[in-house]
Structure 1
């Protein structure tokens, strides 16, 4: 409303005095909500302050010397002249929630197709239907959430990301609103699943939240920068927030080992909880002889190494590739190169893996640079397709290491493995192994594992009152 009014006034002013040097848009007139740098003469210490600091450095502490202070080049900023928008957003979110009380609040960036999104749905279902929790799911980033309609009946979903989008990131307004909301609602526990805003909130207000609320988070793997550095939520936030966390719930055993070794996080903070594999309703009977079709289904983006996929498909000309998934850009060069290959069919996005997979496929090929234990591999194993994948992250929790390619496997390594699976006996041996492994990835096992996470199941008021102020 304020932006619209200022825009209208600015337009009117330009018509009345077109010769004046008016701002291009209303944004520059609304900067009073942001931190601003004062004029140069005001960015230095006044003489009286310098003298006081010199006296204090001689009589109290040498570090109070003005020279020490000025050498660090402190940045002066004007505070905003008013602060109302955050309060309005807080009021709007509370109006949606009403007077309800909650045992568990899940924080997600959004709910759409993705492994972490499916994990959030699993946790929401478990909390609501099995643990009897009054459950609230809050999305914190501005994006559509088409999977919100998959939440169990009785679970409230609140899209806070749309409201947060207009707040000041520099002033940490989204984090302040979120923290105030938790303090007001005082749930027994919160569970952060890939929400950057919620992690930043924990950085700033973890101690306050810990007074009445248990704090859980899900982390799955590190991402890799172009230069090979590990990065992501764990690297950014675990060192500064681990003291407030009751547990970090992860889907694989490999990632916690890295975080303990690299970041120095205590090992008993992590709880490995495998997600359930999907049940496959109907599929065709396996063929007695392997076919010459293979399946690749994922996102065509850097993590999934489309350049490696292209190299393998180019080398395996006698094998036909069914490639499913979205791409980050319609003019992606890898997508264009794949489209030119005669042995490739590009099918585009898909909703359910079981709709595109068949035991008639010789193999499901997974080319990834980093990962935890991706849900798509559980889906491939449940669909009865042998998996060809690298020994990365927690994939060995599903496929024994001796059946995996090396983490730095080249296209030729994949080609040899896919050709090996043309042998019916070897292919059946792999399927038998996968069937034994996938049988352990059940909803019951998932539920039992979550019940063993201390503080996650109970929903009585006494549970909240007994929360320690700092994790041991």
Structure 2
């Protein structure tokens, strides 16, 4: 009966019962605790004698190794250091989470399900919104978006009115990871709803679901995924969703959709995956009136714009070096630090030629005719949306040749991938000293960004087999 109740209710009742037992019979209740009584809900190790194979099982496996298959040898099994666990009992949370999601779905049917971690301010999140708008609007598909990781989704309000959104992140996080319950819940949901396609966009849980149950899912559903770039650890190792999941799931995917031409080359060469799996579809640049762009293109003030996240990938320490060395320029910095005690953020705040503006919702609201250039200092990337916004706003872009940035900015204008402060200083001083060069850069950027239209994005997605089918 207790197992049917909420854990908080169970805990209160058990505390009351144990208090009564200790009062009536102190010796009987001394070794009991609420946590021990609730331990049946968790994976736990059995007693030490129960952690090894019994003699009869070892003898049986030896016989099978001789008569059936040498891989059944007990030695090979024991050398792999298997870990014994008691499975949890009376565990109903996974079923409850599944039922809650089904209740929210109701009797609706969907052609496409997008799996995202959440919907908040970010390039991948904006990409997810583009795909949701495309599926619902241009392709006429009944579309469901499911958030699978714990966190707020303030951008869910930007979804089209008739696109369903289910925030399942907190429920997934509360389920048992070792027994793959989040993946089981999502897989059961896909099998039950049987959409024509699913599209994984940065959802770790959905990637693990594909690894565990991909063959079952593919019986009635096409599987697509979006990947943008690799990441790099502090010690220089290549990491990221592509490195972790493509080697084990590429045969289960109908296509991997990416926003730049550089990443597929890297993944194909490094992971040995057929290049045909990757489909490059550029996201659309935001609309900006011709008059507003022309006004900014003709101007060149003594302010510089930097807008990004203040985190390791974006090299904020390089930004600090530049602002410290080029004090004749005023630096408008838009973005937030990941930690309240971030040292670079503190140092930037002390500089008189730096204004920290915090986060922003619209690029057109932060750019002005006084800006000489947009400076981008990322150590790795795909093709970030903020560069599309800067190009569309009529700002020359000073950036390193990383990821797919050369899809937008001609390679001859890019700095080296490992460019240091001196390289950026030289580039910015060149823009100040040579207005003709600045105008030439803008003309070439304009030619490139003019190709990044919604129609081009929609046509690119339609060309991917199985994505636009009804």
CA distance in 1, matches of 2:208, 2:366: 39
Q: CA deviation at 1:2?
A: 2.3
Q: Is structure 2 residue 338 aligned with structure 1 residue 328?
A: yes
Over aligned residues, Cα RMSD in angstroms? 1.7
Structure 1 residue runs of 5 or longer lacking an equivalent are 460-472
Cα deviation code 1:409-461 (max 9, x no counterpart): 001100110111102111111111111111000001001111101101111xx
> Which residue, out of 9, 12, 22, partners 2:16?
12
1:212-291 maps to which residues of 2 (within 5 A)? 212-281=220-289, 283=292, 285-286=295-296, 290-291=300-301
CA distance in 2, matches of 1:22, 1:415: 68
Residue of structure 2 in register with 1:156 after alignment:
164
Q: Which moved more, 1:211-220 or 1:152-161?
A: 152-161
1:422-441 maps to which residues of 2 (within 5 A)? 422=432, 423-441=434-452
CA distance in 1, matches of 2:375, 2:80: 53
Q: Is structure 2 residue 188 aligned with structure 1 residue 180?
A: yes
Cα deviation code 1:240-283 (max 9, x no counterpart): 11111100000000000010001111100000000000012574
- The 3-state SS of whatever aligns with 1:191 is strand
Q: CA deviation at 1:78?
A: 1.5
> Which residue, out of 358, 363, 367, partners 1:348?
358
1:140-151 maps to which residues of 2 (within 5 A)? 140-151=148-159
Contact 2:286 2:392 in 1 (8 A): yes
Structure 2 residue runs of 5 or longer lacking an equivalent are none
Q: CA deviation at 1:11?
A: 3.3
TM-score using structure 2 length: 0.94
Q: Is structure 2 residue 38 aligned with structure 1 residue 30?
A: yes
Distance 1:434 1:288, change over 3 A: closer
Q: CA deviation at 1:60?
A: 3.5
Q: CA deviation at 1:346?
A: 0.7
Contact 1:323 1:346 in 2 (8 A): yes
Cα deviation code 1:30-56 (max 9, x no counterpart): 342332211110011112112222333
Distance 1:295 1:188, change over 3 A: same
CA distance in 2, matches of 1:274, 1:56: 56
Contact 2:202 2:241 in 1 (8 A): yes
Q: CA deviation at 1:328?
A: 0.3
Contact 1:289 1:424 in 2 (8 A): no
Higher helix residue share: 2
Tell which has more relative contact order, 1 or 2 (C-alpha 8 A, sep 6+). Answer: 1
Contact 1:239 1:263 in 2 (8 A): yes
Residue of structure 1 in register with 2:143 after alignment:
135
CA distance in 2, matches of 1:223, 1:404: 20
CA distance in 2, matches of 1:87, 1:280: 48
Cα deviation code 1:11-45 (max 9, x no counterpart): 3256443873454x64x543423322111100111
